[in-house]
Amino acid sequence: MGNAAPLVHTAIAIAGVVLLILRAKVNPALALVLGAVYLGLAGGLGPERTVATISKGFGDLMAEVGLLIVFGVLLGTLLSSLGAIEKLVAVLLRLLGPKRLPYSFAVTMGTVLQSIFADVLLVMTAPIARSLGRKIGPYGTARMAAAMALGVEVGIALSVPGIGALALAGL
């Protein structure tokens, strides 16, 4: 069991995190920290090294990619608060019409709005997709959500480097 112990503890930590989030309704960030603490303690690091390892890992990751994510979220929130999203929605509806809007939105997401971080792009464009979805008819929100998801994934797949490459480069 010596070689399998890390895998078993990792599986327990993952299951614990999922259960904490879904069943106990614990905040996902807190659940991830608790899972990391369990994994460190079960792996034999001890309390001090576990906390030090978690702090160092989080700090290193935030130094590499955290600021870009934070600024992307900030930009999306500002655009929404300033009303720029509603103006953009009105222009897009006038230019394209409700039938072509999901397709053009997906193409725009995958080409013009290519982003290194999918979560930043989703935070920035989700309010636009939601507003457009309400105005293009039945199932509009679902159509815009699908267009947004497909556009983001295609854009991420076609742009280099991705988040994984940047995170690995930081190691």
**78 plus 156 within the same structural domain:** yes
Task: Give the C-alpha separation, 136 to 58, whole Å.
Answer: 42
Q: What pLDDT, on the 0 to 100 scale, is given for residue 24?
A: 93
Q: Which residues, other chains included, contact 162 with Cβ-Cβ below 8 Å and sequence gap of 6+?
A: 116, 156
Regarding whether 74 and 58 lie in a shared domain, the answer is: no
Number of domains in the chain: 2
Element (H, E) at 11: helix 5-22
Q: 69 and 57 in one domain?
A: no
75 and 138 inside one domain:
yes
Q: Are residues 16 and 82 in the same domain?
A: no
Question: Which of 39, 63, 87 marks a domain boundary?
Answer: 63
pLDDT of residue 2: 62
Q: Please indicate, yes or no, whether residues 73 and 115 belong to a single structural domain of this protein.
A: yes
pTM of the model: 0.50
Q: Are residues 140 and 108 in the same domain?
A: yes
Kindly tell me the burial class for residue 26, based on how many C-beta atoms sit within 10 Å of its own C-beta (0-12, 13-18, 19 or more): middle
Residues 40 and 98 occupy one common structural domain: no
The separation between the first and the last C-alpha atoms of the chain, rounded to the nearest angstrom, is 30
- Which amino acid type is present at position 49? R
Containing structural domain, residue 22: 5-63
**What local confidence, expressed as pLDDT, does residue 66 receive?**
72
Instruction: Pull the structure tokens for residue 106.
Output: 């997906």
pLDDT on residue 143: 93
List Cβ<8 Å contacts ≥24 apart for 80-87.
Answer: 80/127, 85/127, 85/128, 85/131, 86/131
Q: Do 142 and 164 fall into the same domain?
A: yes
75 sits in which H/E element? helix 67-81
Q: Using 70 as the pLDDT threshold, list the residues of the chain that sit under it.
A: 1-2, 69, 72, 76, 85, 112-117, 160-171
